[in-house]
Every structure is written in C-alpha cells, then in structure tokens.
Structure 1
Amino acid sequence: MTEEVQYKPLDCAFESVQAVFALNIEQAVEHLSEASLSEYYEGAEFLAKIGQGDKLSIAFLKTMPWAGEHFGDGSIKKITDFTYNKICRTPNKPAVEKFLDSFIIVVDHIDKDQLDEYLALIEYHLSETTFSIHGIHDTHPSPSLIAMLANINLLLEQLDFKGIYEWINYGLRYFKDHPERQEEYFTLTTADSKAVFQRQRKGLLFSDIERPINLFQQALWKTNFMYAPYSPDFEALEHFHPYLEDEVIRLPDIYSDLNGVNGCKRYMALIAHIIAHHQFTTKIVADNVSPQQRFFTEVFEDARVEYLAIQQYPGLKKLWLSLMPVVDEFDCDDTRQSCLRHRAIMLTRALLDDNHPYQNQIILDYVEKFKELMSRGETTTSDSLSLGLGYLIKTRSASDALGSIYFENTEVSYRDDNRSIWLFIEEFDEEDNIFEHQKKSEDEDDEEVEVIPPHYYDEWDYAYESYKPDWAAVYERLHTHTNASKIDQILDKHSSLVKQLKKVLDLLKPQNKKRVRYQEEGVELDLDIALRSVIDIKNGSQPDTRINVDFEHDSRSVSVLLLLDLSQSLNEVAGSSGQTILELSQEAVSLLAWAVEQLGDNFAIAGFNSDTRQKVMYYHIKGYSEHWDDTVKSRLADLKAEFSTRMGAAIRHGAHYLDMQQSDKKLMLILTDGEPADIDMHDSKALIQDTHKAVQEAQQKGMYPYCISLDKKADEYIADIFGSHYSVIDRIESLPKELPQLFLSLTT
C-alpha cells in the first residue's frame, strides 16, 4: 500500500468531518485492506454529499474501521448502500447515526459471515414498523428503531437471531398500531417485553426442565425441595451464587452449555451438590474464623460432601469433574498478584481427580491427608475446618494481601455459596438477608408473614393463538386463621349426613390384603419357593433366599387438590337459606375434608382470587402433608371473599403442586360461583379461553380437572372451559351434601 493511498485527503467540505477523519485514518490504514480502505473513503465522501449534514459521515468514520476489519472486503460498501437505500431514503433518517454507531457493538457479538443477517434484521424491523396514514406511503418513521438499536448490545449478547425475531414479532403483534406503547416495548422497560426477552435467551430455561430435575433430586436423596429461579444477570452483577435455605433452592433460571456439558446436566450437577451439603454438612461457628480460613474450609467441605455423594452415586464424579476448571500450575505470578484463588482451584481439582496434573508438594500432601480422612469414615464439617486451617498456614504468602487478585478460570460454576456450612452467633453478623427478620405488621395480633417472590405464569391469548409470557403474577400466602370450633360446629350441624358418609366411607376404605411373594423377610414361609431352594442346595446350586411371603393392604393411590374461588361474589346470599355462598362453601369443604381424611387420600385445599394480572393470590389452607386438625380448621374457618376470579393462573399454580404428588390418580376439583374474570380484562372471552388452555395443560400432565359450578348461568360458558368435566349445582343450599358425594363418585 503506497504512502499516497494511506493519507490522501478526503473530498469533503465539512471541517468537522475532516477533523474526525484525521483522528481515525491511521486506525483505518492499519486495520483495513486496500480494497476496504477504498470503500472507507468512498462511503465517507458519499454520505457527506447526500444532504444530511456531517453527522452521518462522522459516525461512519468512527465505526467502519472496526466493521471493515471484522467483516472483510465488501462489507463497508454493503453497509453504505444499506444506510442510503434502506434508511436515508425513508422517514427514518434520525436513526442512521444510531445504526452506524451500533457496529462498534455488533462486531463483538456476531461472526464475520453474519453481516447479511444483521442487516436483514434491521430491514425487517424497519419495514414492519414504518407506517403510513390514509394510504400515504412511509409517511411516518419507525417509532421503535432507535429504541431497539439502543439495546442492541443486550439483544446480541443474550439472544440469537431467531430469538430477536421472536421478540420483535411479539411487539409487532400487540403494539404495531400503538406507536407509544411500541416504543416502550422496544426499550425493554415493560413487563411483557422483559418476559418475552427472557424466554428467548440463549440456553436452557429451568422452567422447561423443572419436572425432570425434581424427579432427579427425589431419585437421589428422596427430597422434594422447591425452586426459586433468579436471572444470571443478577448473578454476574452481584456475585450471587445458588443456595438452599428454608426448603427452597435458589438457582439460575437459564443455563447455556459449558465445557461441552449441556444445560440439563449443569442443573443436575448443581442440585446434586447442594443436596449433598444438605445431607452431610453440619453448621460450624464462623465468628472467630477469618475470611481466608473460611475460604479454604469451604474448598475441603465441598470436596468432602462430593466424595461422600460419589460413594453412593459414582456417576456424579464424571459430571462434576467435567465442570471443574483445570488451570496451569504456573499461571499465577505471586510477585505481582494474589494467587489465593489459583491455589484454591488447583486444590479443588486435585481433591477429586486422581489424574490431576499438579506437582506442588503441599497440594499433594493435603490430597493425601484428605484421602486418609475419608477412608476412615465418619467425617464431619469440623474435619474440613481443620484441613482448611492447616492448608492456609502451609501456603500463606505475603502476596495474598495484594489488591490484584488472580481470578481467571477459578470459579466452579455448579457450587453454591456455602451458607449451609456457617453459623454466625451474633445477630445479623455477615448475613446477606436481614429482611427475613422483619415483620410484615407491627400489630401484636397479626402473624409474622414471610413475603415470597411471585411465581409468573404464561397467559393464553386466543386472538393471536399464542402465550403472553410471564403475564400473571401469583403470590402465595398461608391463609389467616381464627377459632377452629366454627368448623366443629358445622360438622355437628350435619351430623346425620356425617353418619351417612361414614357408612359409605367404610365400604371404600382399603380392606383387602395383597399377597407379596419373593421376600427376604415376611410373615410366613412360601412353601413352593422354600422347597425349590432346598432342591437347589442338594443339587449344589445357589438357592433363592427370597422364600418368604408378606402382605400389604390394597391402597387408594389418589391425590386431590380442592381449589376454591374466593372472589367477591361469594358474599351474596344463596336463595332463601339466609347463608352466603361462602358460608355454604365452608360447610361443604369441611364435610369433604373430613371424608377424605377418613379415606386417607393425599389431599390439599387452596383458595384464590385476583386483583389484575399483577396480583393473583393463592392461599394455602391445607397442605398435602397436613392432617385434618385444628390448625387446618382454623384457616378454613377464616375464609374471606374479595376481588376477582383469574382462574387460569390459579389452576396452573395448583397444577404445579399437584404434579409433584406421587399418585396414580390426580384430581383437581375447582369450586366456583362464576366465570373467570378480572378488572383489567375487557374481553369477556379472554380469561375463559385462558382457563380452558390451563385445563388442557393440566390434562396433558396426567391430571383430571373437574369443576363444580354454583352459577345458574354456567351452561353459557362452562363447557367451553371444562368440556364434559363439570357439574352445575343449581340449588346452592344442597352443596354440603352434594360435594362429598361428587368427590366419592369421581375417585371410586
């Protein structure tokens, strides 16, 4: 390349453009080929002469050296032509500068052969959002292109092109004819925009595999912890880690592949590690232990619980090692930076990997000590503390206090924050969440209420035949309580009905014994098998030792969820009875709960109401593990009816818990007095169709949703929701008698 080509002047009358050119030409000459450099000159001169001022050329000169180097010859001309033909010649001229600036970000996120895809994406958005009025072609600019370009870094970083198109199409579907709302959507500030964005992110969403992961933890440890996902963006910003606390596992809501390990296996590695701590870790006092001492204690404790888990499930070792970094022993220079984390990650690998590459004698010595300890059995968390303190003393260096710390590849992605190890004696000392100690109300009569983050559920949009992602927020709460004697009085009131039910229940209770053969231990000898074993012994063969017979009762394998509509309309008086619908519902549910308790079926009661999609309340009245006692009765006695009936979200949340039950038959009974409705919905069909979709989703999971309606007008809509799986009780006064009988007919 000649001196003349490198520094030839730019044919442009704008002094501002010439100044920017002078600042960027050396960069362009250094990074661009001769062909691309020629495109660079021609593009800058062309944009300066099309009557759009100097801003386009200035943006072009600043960004094209990077774009031309990344995308190669021909790319700068392609961008110049697109800028002029697709943007400058439309009403979208104000977006040109933002479009050109975007290439500083674009080159960091897409491959060199994806320029055409990016340009096609911008063209698609332009063509769909640039609109006209009264047939005047392209009169108004896109209200959202600049907003989208402002978020291009986030879009390209977390979504692939398919995901971006899905996100754009959702915005077009609902806001194409609403410019202001369209702009809000594409700024990524609205709830639905964020929800759609979350759904399209690169990787595996936890919500898509929650059931198999739950089965995984049940299979390994017979545990059934709940999950509360959080965004990995929060994890990156706050250095947040997964953890188990209060029977809830907090974990990332999405995982992408890592080291060739897919998202599902990463979740399995995480769950297995967290529950291994739950099984084998006992808390030790942390107040007199320094941060560095805690750090290395955690390294040994992580290895200890994983070692114990591997003894039961050897396959976990390969899974965990596949996600554990391997660093070079000499990567960290302790004369310039702290190598504390570097030493820790080498030790972490060496403790579990017999084929580790490290030769450091102290590491080898402590690996040997660890193996000796584990071979003796009966280890405790205190042993990890002793090893951690000893290792730190042996390896401590003056450089450990340096401000520059070696971090590269020192994080084990599947491990938790180890809060399960430490007990802080002093109140609030070094705790992350002091808010759990605060009360919801200062009233001495009020209970302490734990505020739980909402569960978000999709809602079906029948007009577009698609889901609105994370549309309804469901808040869980344990129902308030009052005097349980109110329910006892109800049972006394219906004593004659109770006696009738008892006769029926006695017939339904499992009575027969089932003979189970081939048992090592049992109540009597199985003569046929025993005789055959004697013959085997005499013939010199290995006898079958399963020579006993045992008996077990035939049992009903039924799980039931009774879901109560607690909307405002239940306060209406039913017929001439003088009782409200709510009071009759209390009586019916009390009789049903008593009946189910007699049968021994797995049974839960929950109530729901709503005040817009942002607040769907789900009240726990009786849990599956609770018995029909005064605690449950006191909650049922305090039922209140208020707000509206967003039934689809409540069914989805109830199905979430019913799906976890291990039963052959799963019945969801929905007791309601009206059609699904809410104050933020103007289309009467919308929530009916959404509830129908929620019912279908539950059926696909093997559940049997059945509705008992107290609405005399139910025939107008209920079949559209439940098909033939419903009953309408016209005489609400008969509900206490009919509900238990209906339950028995559905479960026999």
Structure 2
Amino acid sequence: MCRADADTPTLAALGLLLGGLSRRTLTLQTLAGASPSPSAAPRAVLSTTHLLLPAAVMQDATLARAAIAHAAAHLLYSSQAQSAGTLKPLGLAVASMIEDARVEALLMQRLPGVRRWFLQAQPAHDPHGLDVPSLLARLGRALLDDSYADGNHWVHKGRTLFAATRHDHGLADHAAFRRLASILANDLGQMRVRLDPQQCVVPAAYRDDHSYLWQYGATADDTTEALQVPAAPPPPADASAADTPPTDAEEQPIDEGICHLYPEWDYRLQRERTDWCTVREVVPPAATLHGLPPAPEPTTPWRSRRRLSRNQRLRRQWEGEELDLDAAIDVQVERRLALAPDGRLFVRPGIEAPRCSVLVLLDLSASTGDVAAGSTQPLLAVEQQAALLLARAAQAGHDRIAIHGFASNTRAAVQYLRLLDFGTPLDAVHTQRILGTRAAGSTRIGAALRHATRCLLVEPAGPRAIVLITDGAPSDIDVFDARYLTEDARAAVLAARRLGVQCQGLVVDPGADAYVRRIFGWRNYRVAETAAQLPRQLGELYDRLAAR
C-alpha cells in the first residue's frame, strides 16, 4: 500500500531532483506498510513509472538524496526485468549488488558530485562480519570508497576484479559484470556462507529492493533442470518427524569412516605441515540408494580402443604376417607320418594385455551441482555419466579401473568416497552408488590426491595413474590464499610421481590453463570447454594412459 504526498514540499523537491537526474517523469510516493521481513527495515521500490520511498528514508535528507540518485542510475543504465533464470538467492544478491555499484559508478562518471551523496549514506557495518549482508556491505563500501581498507580476502578479490573488469571492458558492458558476480557468488558458495532469503535485506538503506532488475518465476530451463536432478529418497512411511532425514545433501548425516592423516605443503614456509589434513574414507552404504532412478544405458558409442602389439604374438594362426617355424616343422613331421597336417602356420600380433591401473577421481564439491555451461544438467550428472561410460568400456576390455570421489569441509574433514574399486564388477549396486553421489563441500585436491595415491600403491606392479575430474581451482572455506591449495596440489602430484603414479587432470573450465598447468605440469592435463566434451575427453585420456 502507498499514499500520495503530492503537496509536501520535500516530496515535490525530491520529485524534481529525480526527474532532473533520470531525464524521466516519475511519480514519487511514500511507501506505507511493513517490511516483508519483520527483522529488517523496508527498502525503496522502483518501477518505470513510480519510486516508492520508505518513510524513514523520506525523513532523512541524506538518505533521500542518495536514494533519488541511485534510482536515477538504475533508470539510466540498468535493463529492467532481467530473467532471474537459474540464479539462486545468493547469486541474485551478489549480482544485484554488483549492478548497484556499476550503475552508481556510471552516474558518478557523468556527475562526480553525487559520489559525496553516496558516501554520506553508506551504512554502518560490522568490519569483521562474515554473514552475507555484512560481506555485501563491506564490498559495496570498498567499491565506492577507494580509501576504505578491508582485510577480508573475498572483499579484496571483489574490488580487484571490479577494477579489472572496468578497465578491460568498460562500465557499460553489463555482461562482463554479470560474469564477475558469478565468480564472487561461486566463491561464497565454496566458503559455504549461508543466505536466508526471508531475513536478508539490501544492506544500504538508500538502495531499492532490486525488484526493478529481475523478473522472477519458473522458466523452461528451470523445469528441465528439476526433471533431470534425481530426487532425494523419501523417508519411510512409519518414520517419526524427528527421524526424518534432511533433504539437503549438505545436511545428510554421513558415516565417519576410516580416518587417515596426510601432510599439506605450505609454500610460504616452504615445508610440509605434518599430519595436517584428515581424510575420512567412506564406502556409501547400499541403503542410501533406495529411491534413485535406474541407471541410464550408455548413449555414447565410444569404447576403449584395444591395441595390437607385436609383443603379444599369437602362434598357429590361419593367417598372419610371417610363418610359425615350430608349426611348419610339425607339418613336415605329420606329412612323413602320413597324417593330416594342421594348416595353421602363421604368427600375427595379438591384443595387448591390460597394463595400467587407472583411478578416476571425481570432484563432488558444491559447485558441481550447478548447471554446466552449454548443458541443462548439473556438472556432477555429466561427471557421473562419463565415469559410468568409461567403466563399462574398460571392464568390457578387461582393464583395471576404479572410481572414487571427494569433497572437503576444512582440513579436518576431507570426505573420500570409494564408489567402485579395482576388480569390482560394475553391477546395479555400484552403478546406483555412483549416481547417488551429491554435490556438497569444497575442493581440497591435494589431500584427495594423496589418498588416491595410497589406494593405487596396493595395485599389482605396472603403470598406475590417477585421472582427476574437476570444475575449478582447489579451494576450501578455511583457506583465503588462492595460491596455497594450488601449490599443495602440485606438491601432491610431484609426490605421487616419485612413487610411480602418474596424475592427469581433466578440467571443465575454459580459463583453467594457468592453474591446472601449475598443478599437473605440461601435457598432463586436458581442458574441456563445455560439459558436453567431458565424456570424449575422458575416453581419449584413458586410451592414452592405457597405451603407455
């Protein structure tokens, strides 16, 4: 509800200011009614015809002036009713804040004097707060005030990327800043900063509620994604409410499993931290698989290419490249004895015996639950299908293959799932075990590689290799130095190589070359531009390993 105050001088003056800044004629009114969230003050509401300001903003000249300028910036430089698409609440909050900063910067570029208005209206915030509103308020201040200093890694990264995007693309490139917002939102997801949409409100009181920017509602893409993500298993009919398991994969109780301690390399100290990471090895029980859909049959014609080898010589063949001398001698003996000789007199190359044990290590972090670029499925679903296709083809060729997965929640809790072990047939239980994995946690690659190396060392003598499938650089919520976990993963790869285990990386990230080359070394990785390339790239990588 709202009421008109056309005869109020302050309202009339603000209306003239809004028209002058936005070059449009809008109706300015006072917003009446309570905030949607009882714990937060209401925010302004902007449309193409009206600007509704809360009474608290109207009564404060500093806030009112900044609110008018901010609304004018949106009217001049923002696209109205953009599709929210598959953006989650956290992604919307970050994208909205970045858009606020972008349009304010454009307005300040045209009218430098409004910078003082925005600075005076900045809210007080907890300089050490780590919840979503506090982090957004800290980043908003950092993007507006060059003199503001904040020691938080995420805030510093946001400020740096905003300046770089502004320099490389210009403030008018809306799409470039949307990509920046996606990076920052993904980082918050990796840090597992929780957002309650019912309680969250725009931190700055002078900014609007962002209803002008977004068009909400289900889209065709949303429906497709919902149909393709396996539903969580329903609770038993006779279970009490207290015993009902949570549906969020992050909150499902997991077996503690067997704990292993591993070191971690600190590049700043140039030494290993002994027994620094705890890896919990878990075999998912079959009971958790109830209610999952049946596993799909392979839809890709790729199969492991078995190679002819002159080291494998098949004797006494009907045809071949050369004579089998022993068979030829036997023929002459049989003729002298008046016996019917055997006509199999040739030698030809045979199929090369399997020589390599390959462990496919799947990244199960929370980011793999997002819909992959160029696909309607989450990246984790593509990983699962590619791993199943490879396992079927490898076992049909009598190769040795294992499929494991990992995710982390600080150095004290790196979860390692043994989904399919060497020598185990890919039956229905193991197929559903792979399909039953859920995206949760972060990506502490070094610890997972060390444990995978340990699993491989018990394999029979011969070449051994790990193929890691991931969607980004290593990260965890207790690490704020972007280089730290990359250097540790590199140290884990070098340690595995000294033990005779080759490590290969397959990354679904067009911008992965810099960090993935640092981790795996030259020619020891592949980059898939889109998720659709993952099955083919995995098959080719496996063929190259098996041919060594």
Query: What TM-score comes out, normalization by structure 2 length?
Result: 0.45
Q: Specify the structure having the higher radius of gyration (Cα).
A: 1
Query: What TM-score comes out, normalization by structure 1 length?
Result: 0.34
Q: Which has the higher strand share?
A: 2
Q: Which has the higher helix share?
A: 1
Structure with more contact order per residue of length (Cα contacts < 8 Å, sep ≥ 6): 2
